[in-house]
């Protein structure tokens, strides 16, 4: 080496941290270094293929596009070469010395959230090139970029603090990475072991991978075969290759069609939802091919955002090869594919729900949030997506779920609306006073638990022509047959409807600062009073969320409904009849109102309330 031209560079701090983790913590998965280096080589070959297709002059050197691995047990070396785009000196520095690139940044970001073994994460994010240092204490990256007059370069490092870069003559285009395998990992110089690792992780890489001259992988676009010719094992293997995952997919869909456009698609539904654990948002999961040539990975234009958990590939001959990430959005064929695919995915999930309901419920529990996101955001498809929603209700138990279709089909003929109620848990909603009238009349109510659920149903508005209404809505019209007992059935001592109305008018005036109206309720059986929401467009729960997130948002007006049959209300009525200025009446009215606020999950002034309760207690003791 010519020491005159050798320059030493220090790694960025984050890279040092990453290297330390890679070398010391990922010991269980050392073999993935093979997959990571092959994947970089394949990416680089893919890039040169694109360049060659779109620009006839550059990248012209006639080199076979392939990956060669040479293993030498005696020299204790593992060498992987590709004829891809290579790197310039600036690229070496920024790609291998800083953390500006995607995979590793994600890895580090998520490391802090991670409980347990960081090795679980590499499957999802990869640590890329640095994985070489898991088995090697000295790595050389020899490269020449495809750009005109690029110089041959040698990058070298022991994976600790720094690296050197030097020039070298006679280097062909691409990259050649030389790993000196440490003594303890010497089995990675066994060609048979390397071949089996390649079979496991990299079997579907689209370029020949040769180990000591012998091709190991099956280069096959299984999505272009007819489904009958693909085995279950091949599908699963391909999925694992595609997603770097260790588990089989939950569902898969293989589509082959000529109309409205020629297309083969292979879509997979993963087993678990990593967004659920608080990891960062998933990237779109579909790669786009044209006639088996990879155009772009993680294409966001092929499926709506809420289907970002779907992984797979789409291949269409009708696409121009020179399409780029920038032009994808405006491409007509892409638009057609997207329209077609979203309908097929929804239909597929509907079929799964019918054919394997238990499996679908498992899916729903893991991925339901994405379906909800779809109902909320995709106006064109919300009605079909809504069929995929699942709910617990006052008529389900033991972890059973209902669809909106189930709900509608078991509705009595005079019920016009679909009812729902929000709460923290099933137990919480089960005990809610808002359910009284529904339970006593055997009307089904769907339960919502997630903060976004109200927004989802509110975006949907109706299903199968039935309005979807929150149980705390002031507008609820009970079917006539379900109305409460008429006056004639009431005891003689009970105040008349007319008197009760007058009493409620007094209450309305007295409570004018807190309540927009007071009404005699026809929905309560046991509770003395309840707070209902006259705003048709936003439930109380939604208003609470808005208030928590937007300082300027004001909670909407509320209506107090009183139960004329409640003994408390009747006692208050009597107090009012005798003296509408009675302190006991006012204290009771204020406390009753506070109670309804609390039951509606709305804040009350605690100090005022406690003082008032003490007074009421004192009055009683006297």
Question: Which residues sit at the interface with ligand ADP, rule CB under 6 A?
Answer: 40-41, 44, 82, 84-87, 95-96, 101-104, 126, 128-130, 175
Alpha-carbon gap, residue 147 to 185, rounded angstroms: 37
23/542 with CB nearer ligand ADP: 23
Task: Report how far apart, in Å, the C-alpha atoms of 222 and of each of 203, 248, 255, 446 are.
Answer: 12, 17, 12, 43
Tell me whether residue 101 or residue 347 sits nearer to ligand ADP (CB atom). 101
- Residue 454: helix, strand or coil by DSSP? helix
Residue with tokens 């750009």: 147
**Of 126 and 368, which has the nearer Cβ to ligand ADP?**
126
Rounded least distance, CB 296 to ligand ADP, Å: 15
Cβ proximity to ligand ADP: between 127 and 572 the closer is 127
- Nearer of residues 71 and 265 to ligand ADP, judged by Cβ: 71
Please tell me whether the peptide bond between 260 and the residue prior to it is cis, using omega within 30 degrees of 0.
Answer: yes
Mention every residue, 6+ apart, whose C-beta is less than 8 A from residue 369: 273, 275, 276, 450, 452
**Residue of closest CB approach to ligand ADP:** 128
CB nearer ligand ADP, residue 179 or residue 303: 179
In the complex with ligand ADP, the residue whose CB is nearer, 26 or 96, is 96
CB 273, min distance to ligand ADP, A: 22
Q: Taking the complex as a whole, how short is the minimal distance between the CB of residue 143 and ligand ADP, in angstroms?
A: 7
- Cα–Cα nearest to 177, from 34, 365, 348: 34
Nearer to ligand ADP, 102 or 161 (CB): 102
Nearer Cβ to ligand ADP (67/328): 67
Asked if 73 contacts 180 with a C-beta cutoff of 8 angstroms, the reply is no
Q: Report residue 336 as tokens.
A: 């057609």
Are 607 and 440 contacting, i.e. CB atoms less than 8 angstroms apart? Answer: no
Toward ligand ADP, which CB reaches closer, 44 or 352? 44
User: What separation in angstroms does the CA of 215 have from each of 199, 209, 259, 450, 566?
Assistant: 11, 6, 37, 52, 84
Ramachandran quadrant class, 255 (left: phi over 0; alpha: psi -120 to 50; beta: rest)? beta
316/583 Cα distance (integer angstroms): 79
Phi/psi of residue 68, nearest 5 degrees: -115, 130
Q: Residue 129 CB, nearest distance to ligand ADP (Å)?
A: 4
SS3 per residue for 9-59: EECCHHHHHHHHHHHHHCHHHCCHHHHHHHHHHHHHHHHHHHHHHHCCCCC
Q: What is the helix (H) or strand (E) element at residue 172, kind and residue range?
A: none
CB of 553 to ligand ADP, least distance (A): 42
Positive or negative, the CA dihedral 531, 532, 535, 541 is positive
Tell me the closest approach of the beta carbon of residue 42 to ligand ADP, in angstroms: 9
CB of 112 to ligand ADP, least distance (A): 19
Question: Residue 239 in contact with residue 252, Cβ under 8 Å?
Answer: yes
Whole-angstrom Cα distance, residue 259 to residue 337? 10
Judged by beta carbon, residue 129 or residue 597, the one nearer ligand ADP is: 129
Residues 109, 280: contact at Cβ < 8 Å?
yes
Which neighbouring-strand residues pair with 412? Answer: none
Sorted by sequence, the CB contacts under 8 Å of residue 533 that are 6+ apart come out as 470, 472, 473, 474, 539, 540, 543, 556, 558, 559
Q: Least distance (Å) from ligand ADP to the CB of residue 527?
A: 59
The encoded tokens of residue 47 equal 């890039």
Task: Say if residue 317 is exposed, middle or buried (CB neighbours under 10 Å; 0-12, 13-18, 19+).
Answer: middle
Q: How far apart are the C-alpha atoms of 606 and 622, rounded to whole Å?
A: 24
Closer residue to ligand ADP in complex, CB, 155/503: 155
**From CA 612, how far away is CA 616, in angstroms rounded?**
6
Q: Residue 97's closest CA among 16, 166, 3, 167?
A: 16
- Please, which residue, 12 or 262, has the CB nearer to ligand ADP? 12
Tell the smallest beta-carbon distance from residue 175 to ligand ADP (Å): 4
């Amino acid at each position: 080496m010519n020491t005159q031209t050798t320059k030493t560079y220090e790694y960025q701090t984050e890279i040092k941290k990453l290297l330390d983790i890679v070398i010391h913590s990922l010991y269980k998965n050392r073999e993935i270094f093979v997959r990571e280096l092959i994947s970089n080589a394949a990416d680089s070959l893919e890039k040169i293929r694109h360049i060659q297709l779109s620009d006839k002059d550059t990248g012209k050197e006639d080199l076979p596009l392939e990956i060669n691995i040479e293993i030498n047990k005696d020299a204790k070396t593992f060498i992987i070469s590709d004829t891809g785009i290579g790197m310039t000196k600036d690229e070496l520095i920024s790609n291998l010395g800083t953390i500006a690139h995607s995979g590793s940044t994600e890895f580090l970001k998520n490391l802090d959230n991670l409980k347990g073994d960081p090795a679980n994460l590499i499957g999802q994010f990869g640590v890329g090139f640095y994985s070489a240092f898991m088995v090697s204490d000295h790595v050389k990256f020899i490269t020449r970029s495809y750009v005109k007059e690029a110089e041959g370069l040698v990058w070298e490092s022991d994976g600790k603090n720094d690296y050197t870069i030097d020039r070298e003559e006679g280097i062909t285009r691409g990259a050649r990475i030389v790993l000196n395998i440490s003594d303890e990992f010497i089995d990675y110089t066994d060609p048979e072991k390397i071949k089996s690792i390649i079979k496991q992780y990299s079997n579907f890489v689209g370029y020949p991978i040769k180990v000591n001259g012998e091709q190991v992988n099956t280069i096959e676009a299984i999505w272009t075969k007819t489904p009958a010719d693909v085995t279950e094992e091949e599908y699963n293997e391909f999925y694992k290759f595609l997603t770097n995952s260790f588990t089989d997919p939950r569902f898969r869909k293989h589509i082959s069609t000529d109309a409205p456009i020629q297309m083969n698609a292979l879509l997979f539904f993963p087993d678990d939802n990593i967004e659920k654990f608080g990891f960062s948002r998933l990237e779109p999961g579909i790669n786009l091919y044209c006639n088996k040539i990879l155009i772009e990975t993680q294409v966001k234009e092929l499926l709506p955002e809420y289907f970002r958990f779907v992984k797979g590939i789409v291949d269409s001959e009708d696409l121009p090869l020179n399409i780029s990430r920038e032009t994808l959005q405006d491409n007509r064929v892409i638009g057609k594919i997207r329209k077609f695919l979203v309908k097929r995915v929804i239909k597929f999930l509907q079929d799964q729900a019918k054919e394997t309901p238990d499996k679908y419920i498992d899916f729903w529990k893991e991925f339901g949030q994405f379906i909800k996101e779809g109902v909320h955001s995709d106006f064109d498809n919300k009605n079909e997506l809504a069929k995929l929603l699942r709910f617990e209700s006052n008529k389900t138990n033991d972890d059973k779920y209902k669809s909106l279709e189930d709900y509608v089909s078991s509705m009595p003929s005079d019920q016009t609306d679909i009812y729902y109620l929000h709460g923290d848990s099933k137990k919480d909603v089960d005990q809610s006073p808002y359910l009284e009238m529904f339970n006593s009349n055997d009307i089904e109510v769907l339960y919502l638990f997630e903060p976004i659920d109200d927004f989802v149903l509110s975006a949907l508005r109706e299903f199968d022509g039935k309005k979807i209404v929150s149980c705390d809505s002031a507008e609820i019209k009970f079917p006539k047959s379900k109305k409460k007992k008429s006056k004639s059935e009431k005891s003689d001592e009970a105040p008349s409807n007319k008197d009760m109305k007058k009493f409620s008018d007094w209450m309305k005036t007295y409570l004018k600062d807190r309540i927009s109206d007071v009404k005699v309720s026809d929905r309560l059986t046991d509770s003395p009073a309840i707070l209902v929401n006259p705003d048709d467009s936003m439930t109380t729960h939604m208003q609470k969320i808005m208030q928590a997130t937007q300082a300027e948002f004001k909670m909407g007006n509320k209506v107090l409904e009183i139960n004329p049959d409640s003994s408390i209300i009747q006692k208050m009525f009597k107090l009012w009849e005798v003296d509408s200025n009675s302190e006991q009446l006012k204290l009771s009215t204020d406390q009753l109102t506070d109670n309804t606020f609390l039951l509606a999950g709305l804040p009350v002034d605690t100090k005022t309330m406690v003082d008032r309760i003490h007074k009421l207690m004192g009055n009683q003791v006297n």
